[in-house]
């Protein structure tokens, strides 16, 4: 699993003109899934995200986690994170998991984050044409790949 994590002052997801998710201070997480991903990736990545110290403390040092600030999170499925761009100019998405594998893993990831965070996680809609709006705070943007834990 690969994620792009953005610290946001606010973020929302709109599908066909209807806002389906909206948060204030927290994290917007774009999640890409490959066939090899499993529960181990979900568990590791969820714990890493909710405990990632990217929010400022009283000394303006990034020393607080999403848990510490009681922030919110939106998780959006993003198969394009696994784009292969080595050859040519048209990205290939062959590494991205197909929906029959990706949807259950995406749903399991959201549930795990909810458990680890202790609150409801907002989401986009898997496979939908989504409009994602955000105000990146910092900006702080971090990329994590569960296959590169070491």
The number of beta carbons lying within 10 Å of the beta carbon of residue 55 is 22
Residues known to be catalytic: 78-80
Beta bridge partners of 30: 4, 76
Six-digit token string for 108: 């399991």
Gap between the Cα atoms of 150 and 132, Å rounded: 31
Q: Tokens 């909810």 appear where?
A: 114
Peptide bond between residue 88 and the one before it cis (omega within 30 degrees of 0): no
Gap between the Cα atoms of 54 and 24, Å rounded: 15
Six-digit token string for 24: 């204030």
């Amino acid at each position: 699993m690969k994620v792009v994590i953005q610290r946001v002052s606010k973020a929302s997801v709109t599908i066909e003109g209807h806002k389906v998710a909206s948060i204030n201070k927290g994290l917007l997480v774009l999640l890409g899934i490959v066939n090899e991903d499993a529960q181990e990736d979900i568990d590791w990545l969820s714990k890493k995200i909710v405990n990632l110290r990217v929010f400022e403390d009283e000394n303006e040092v990034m020393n607080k986690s999403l848990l510490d600030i009681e922030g919110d999170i939106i998780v959006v499925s993003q198969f394009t994170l696994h784009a292969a761009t080595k050859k040519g100019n048209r990205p290939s998405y062959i590494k991205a998991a197909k929906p029959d594998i990706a949807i259950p893993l995406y749903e399991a990831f959201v549930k795990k984050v909810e458990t680890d965070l202790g609150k409801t996680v907002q989401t986009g809609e898997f496979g939908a044409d989504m409009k994602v709006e955000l105000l990146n705070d910092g900006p702080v943007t971090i990329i994590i790949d569960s296959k590169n834990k070491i």
